Structure 1
Amino acid sequence: MKLSTNTLKRQNINEVTGMLLLQVTKKLAEQLNIKTSKDQLVDNDLLYSWHAHMFLYKRRKYVLVMNNKSRYNFILGGLVKKDFMKFDELMKNGIRKNLLADGFDTKVVDKYMEQCDSVNYAPTSMRNIISQINDTILITKHMWEADEIQPPDLDKTNRRNNKVPFLQLPESHSLDAMKNGMKNVED
């Protein structure tokens, strides 16, 4: 099989430097003060590709981040302008913190994070993920209203959200799908 020069360049980027692809909605891109274009979409392992969308709850800014492969998700909350200036680090810390909180092995999480030394931004490309993000936000807001805890307990929310069934996943729960995806990282 002959690979094009562009494909080889993309593979080299992924192999040598490791890359986390963060596909952001227009609303989040504006908040981050970045411009995204379809040219920024690269072939990347779906396990290292995430979609992110900003939403408001009681006048506070939150970002829901969802993995493209497993639909594993978490919320970053109570964000202010300075948080968006260091969003790369906030995102990486969020992934790490939530994987560990969900019981993933520290060595596996470290190995996963080693592949995420750079963050590339691109526009969203998968409408089904955007739909699932919107559903998750709706469910989350209803849970927050029912809990009546202000500000919302994000740790509790993030654990609960990954136990909500997704019909398009073979495993039905995003936490189980992420555990299966992370088995490849262990090797």
Structure 2
Amino acid sequence: MLLACTKKLSEVLKIKLPDITPHSREPLCEWHANLFVFDRRKGVVMMNNQTRYCVVLYGLKAEHFKIFGNITLSCIKQTLLAEGFQKEIIEKYIDYCSEVVFTKTYDRSVMSQMNDMIYLTSHWIEEYLPTSEICMVDLNKKLGVVPVGSLKYTYPIDNLRKALTDLRTAEQR
């Protein structure tokens, strides 16, 4: 999994991001991530580059950022289960993306749309608070049905369903 982080997020993660983005990568396993603060708590919005599906983590503390790669994969898995994907498809996807590699952001289109989702998140998140959960599953599901202009106003959840189905079909060949 390639996780392109903003400068703000990399500073909180306390990592130095490489200048070069790896060339060989699977588009479905590429995500961008940005830090936001709401009600004095830190959160991260991650957006899948191919499908524009978002996953929101909120209430992160210093100890969470130390194991951010594991938390990321766990939250994606939890969200996909809540969206109704078959467990075997989710397991294959998580195995496929098992190693998290951090890099600098490189796609301005994704960054722009992710910032739009952060704006929506800042308005909708109050509906789901207070919570002790880091993964905002219900908010993720709500963001999954926000049309994305750069993908011909399709829904991110529909794009994700198609992409995971295509991935499964390709593996069966």
Query: Considering the TM-score relative to the shorter chain, is it more than 0.5?
Result: yes
- Residues 112-131 of structure 1 mapped to structure 2, 5 A cutoff: 112-131=93-112
What are the superposed Cα offsets for residues 59-99 of structure 1, whole Å, 9 maximum, x if unpaired?
Answer: 00000011010001110110000000001100110111111
2:13 maps to 32
Aligned to 1:182: 164
SS at the partner of 2:150? coil
Deviation at 1:119, TM superposition (A): 1.1
User: Quick check: 1:109 aligned with 2:55?
Assistant: no
Q: Quick one: distance in 1 between partners of 2:130 and 2:3?
A: 29
Residue number in structure 2 paired with 1:15 = none
CA contact (8 A) 1:55 1:62 kept: yes
Paired position in structure 2 for 1:172: 154
* Aligned CA distance change for structure 1 residues 28 and 124 (closer, same or farther; 3 Å): same
SS in 1 for 2:10: helix
Unaligned ranges ≥5, structure 1: 1-19
Give the CA deviation at 1:42.
3.0
Q: Does 1:93 align with 2:74?
A: yes
| Secondary structure of the structure 1 residue equivalent to 2:50 | coil
Question: Does the aligned pair in 2 maintain the 1:32–1:84 contact within 8 Å?
Answer: yes
Q: Whole-Å Cα distance in 1 between the matches of residues 130 and 99 of structure 2?
A: 34
Is 1:158 aligned to residue 143 of structure 2?
no
Q: Which amino acid aligns with 1:177?
A: N
**Which residue does 1:66 correspond to in 2?**
47
Q: Separation in 1 of the partners of 2:122 and 2:2?
A: 27
- Conserved? CA contact 2:10–2:16, under 8 Å: yes
Task: Give the corresponding residue for 1:77.
Answer: 58
Equivalents in 2 of 1:51, 1:149: separation in Å?
A: 25
User: Take 1:86 and 1:157, find their aligned partners in 2: how far apart are those partners?
Assistant: 22
Q: How many residues align?
A: 167
| Higher Rg | 1
Q: Is the 8 A contact 2:43 2:60 kept in 1?
A: yes
Structure 2 unaligned spans of 5+: none
Contact 2:3 2:31 in 1 (8 A): yes
Q: Percent identity?
A: 32
